[in-house]
Amino acid sequence: MSVFMSAFADLVGALADVLHPIFQTASTAAAIVLFTALVRLAVHPLSRAAARGQKARTRLQPQIAELRKKHGKNPERMQKALMELHKEEKVSPLSGCLPSLLQMPAFFLLYHLFSSQKIGGEPNALLGHQLFDAPLGERWHDALAHGGLFGAQGMVYLGLFAIVAAVATFNYRRTKRQMAANPVTPAAGPDGQPVPGMGAMTKLMPLMSFATLFTVSVVPLAAALYVVTSTTWTAVERAVLYRDMPAAGTAMAAAA
């Protein structure tokens, strides 16, 4: 693990060296943003595939409703019929999960790298790198202890919170508009039956974007930069990929 972390630290350092002539003391922070963009670009084909799959599943809703009427009293037969339908239409129920799952290792790598005092037995020099005056290895409570909410470090976090709040508000308003324009019935589970509480969950899903504020406040600044960049990318990506999709499909895609 230490060898792998050392290699990852070297990668971040190399990116920072390339960006240093432009970003100077903020080059490591810029390297993290670039790294995040590269990760998201790498999984973008899977995101496109997930969007196609979600649109296909949305188109299958009338057929699923018919199967529900036909096999509603036989859950096993219903599930088998659904599997056959998905296979026939070449739709994977799990395709929407892959982009999120593949991003998790990158986030945990950054979290671990900027939470470790030593890498490969040597002091972790990256911890001293800064975004303006805020060290990349520290957290919001550290910024509050050095200058308070409106201090130099605190203002960096206020900027990140403002971006997250803006993205979350964008997601919320977009989904609410889609729900108003496309009223939908509650989603169904694998057996074709309505999932208890799914209607309420779908309505609350847009608010989940605001939970990112908590994540940004408790992780190291480097990991917070990853979260903010990835969240912003996701908002733009979904606005494009799901622009012609009914509200329910968009909400379920956001859940994935």
88-105 pLDDT per residue, tens: 766 665 555 667 777 888
The per-residue pLDDT for range 197-219, each reduced to its tens digit, is 555 556 666 677 788 999 999 99
Residue 125 has pLDDT above 70, yes or no: yes
Give percent of the chain with pLDDT exceeding 70: 77
At 23, the pLDDT band (50, 70, 90 cuts) reads: very high
CA–CA separation, 52 and 150 (whole Å): 45
Distance between CA atoms of residues 148 and 227, nearest Å:
23
Predicted local distance difference test score (pLDDT) of residue 122 = 87
SS3 (DSSP) at 215: helix
- Residue 192 has a pLDDT of 46
List pLDDT tens digits, range 151-182: 999 999 999 999 999 999 998 888 777 666 65
Instruction: Inform me whether the pLDDT recorded for 255 exceeds 50.
Output: no
Is the pLDDT reported for residue 11 higher than 70? yes
Mean confidence (pLDDT) of the chain: 81
Domain extent, residue 76, equals 2-255
pTM of the model: 0.79
pLDDT category of residue 245 using cuts at 50, 70 and 90: low
Helix 221-241 and helix 98-113, axial crossing angle in degrees, nearest 10: 160
Distances (CA, A) of 190 to 71, 72, 75, 132: 12, 12, 9, 50
* Total domains present in the chain: 1
- Per-residue confidence (pLDDT) for residue 165, from 0 to 100: 95
Confidence of residue 21 (pLDDT cuts 50, 70, 90): very high
Cα 120 to Cα 1: distance, rounded to the nearest angstrom: 9
The Cα–Cα gap between 245 and 251 comes to: 10
